[in-house]
């Protein structure tokens, strides 16, 4: 499994929703890579902070407070030891993670991509779309989002993949810092039909 794919699966690991070979591959990578463990700590801390502060505005908690919380948890989860060759997560990366969350709240969840790289495979076409240096090609040919969706924290990647195939949509952006995805319709799908399928799914918390 490539380093890029490991990074793409890291948010699912932070949510505890990876299974099987993918979980084993991510666990093996985490055991060997201190920076990756630091990134996982940041993802967990950002998610926990957003859940705890979701009723407050950015002005109530601010970037400095979020950086403090993220930095504290990152340090606790990935301590440096003499025998572990640990490279601490840089303050710049922590700042970028915290800033992404503050920006997300401030602009009403029109979110930038948090995970580096092109993001997860477009799930609906992951087995057929050719991979290039720029990531996977989208079946719809465009990257315009028709829906913004939040999946249940316990939704597995397999369940998400099946739902997107059923609804006729693909991921065009995400996951964001707080786990939101933007979806685009495939050529054969309709907005009404996809909306009905997504809205009625048990693993979907919200779709717009």
- Window from 64-68, 135-139, 148-152, 159-163 with minimum mean pLDDT: 135-139
Is residue 98 domain-shared with residue 156, that is, in the same domain?
Answer: no
Structure-block tokens of residue 77: 């989860």
Residue 184 is predicted with a pLDDT of 87
Q: How far apart are the first and last CA of the chain?
A: 33
Winning range, highest mean pLDDT, from 76-90, 169-183, 186-200? 186-200
Residue 121 is predicted with a pLDDT of 41
Tell me which of 51, 79, 106 is where a domain ends: 106
Q: What does the mean pLDDT of the chain come to?
A: 66
Q: How far is CA 172 from the centre of its chain?
A: 12
Mean pLDDT within 113-129? 39
Q: Are 178 and 117 in contact (CB under 8 A)?
A: no
pLDDT at 25 over 80: yes
Q: Are 118 and 67 in contact (CB under 8 A)?
A: no
pLDDT tens profile 29-54: 999 988 888 888 877 776 666 556 55
pLDDT at 124 over 50: no
Mean pLDDT within 93-115? 42
Higher-pLDDT residue of 56, 170: 170
Continuous H helices in the chain: 3-15, 20-32, 34-53, 58-77, 91-106, 157-167, 191-200
- Global confidence as pTM: 0.39
Tell me which of 106, 139, 170 is where a domain ends: 106
Is residue 68 domain-shared with residue 93, that is, in the same domain?
Answer: yes
Residue 135 is predicted with a pLDDT of 40
Mean pLDDT within 169-187? 82
In a domain, 115, yes or no: no
Number of domains in the chain: 2
pLDDT tens profile 151-174: 888 888 788 888 888 888 888 887
Which residues pair with residue 204 across a beta bridge? 151
Is residue 143 domain-shared with residue 202, that is, in the same domain?
Answer: yes
Q: Residue 173, exposed/middle/buried by CB under 10 A (0-12, 13-18, 19+)?
A: buried
- Distance, in Å, from the CA atom of 131 to the CA atom of 62, rounded to the nearest integer, reads 39
Is residue 95 domain-shared with residue 7, that is, in the same domain?
Answer: yes
Q: Are 124 and 188 in contact (CB under 8 A)?
A: no
DSSP string, 25-43: HHHHHHHH-HHHHHHHHHH
Q: Which domain holds residue 23?
A: 3-106
Q: How far is CA 76 from the centre of its chain?
A: 22
Phi, psi of 207 (to 5 degrees): -145, 135
Mean pLDDT within 123-134? 39
Winning range, highest mean pLDDT, from 42-46, 61-65, 136-140, 195-199? 195-199
Residue 114 is predicted with a pLDDT of 38
Is residue 138 domain-shared with residue 46, that is, in the same domain?
Answer: no
């Amino acid at each position: 499994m490539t380093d890029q794919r490991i990074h793409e699966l890291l948010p699912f690991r932070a949510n505890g929703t990876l299974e099987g070979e993918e979980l084993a591959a991510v666990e093996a990578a985490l055991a060997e890579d201190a920076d990756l463990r630091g990134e996982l700590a940041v993802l967990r801390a950002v998610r926990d902070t957003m859940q705890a502060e979701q009723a407050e505005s950015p002005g109530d908690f601010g970037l400095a407070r979020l950086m403090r919380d993220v930095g504290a948890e990152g340090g606790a989860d990935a301590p440096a030891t003499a025998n572990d060759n640990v490279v601490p997560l840089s303050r710049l990366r922590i700042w970028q993670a915290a800033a992404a969350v503050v920006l997300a709240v401030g602009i009403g969840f029109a979110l930038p991509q948090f995970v580096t790289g092109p993001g997860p495979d477009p799930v609906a076409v992951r087995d057929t779309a050719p991979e290039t240096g720029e990531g996977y090609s989208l079946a719809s040919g465009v990257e315009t989002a028709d829906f913004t969706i939040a999946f249940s924290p316990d939704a597995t990647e397999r369940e998400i993949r099946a739902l997107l195939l059923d609804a006729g949509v693909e991921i065009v952006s995400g996951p964001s810092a707080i786990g939101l995805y933007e979806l685009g319709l495939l050529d054969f799908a309709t907005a009404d039909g996809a909306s009905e399928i997504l809205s009625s799914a048990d693993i979907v918390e919200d779709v717009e």
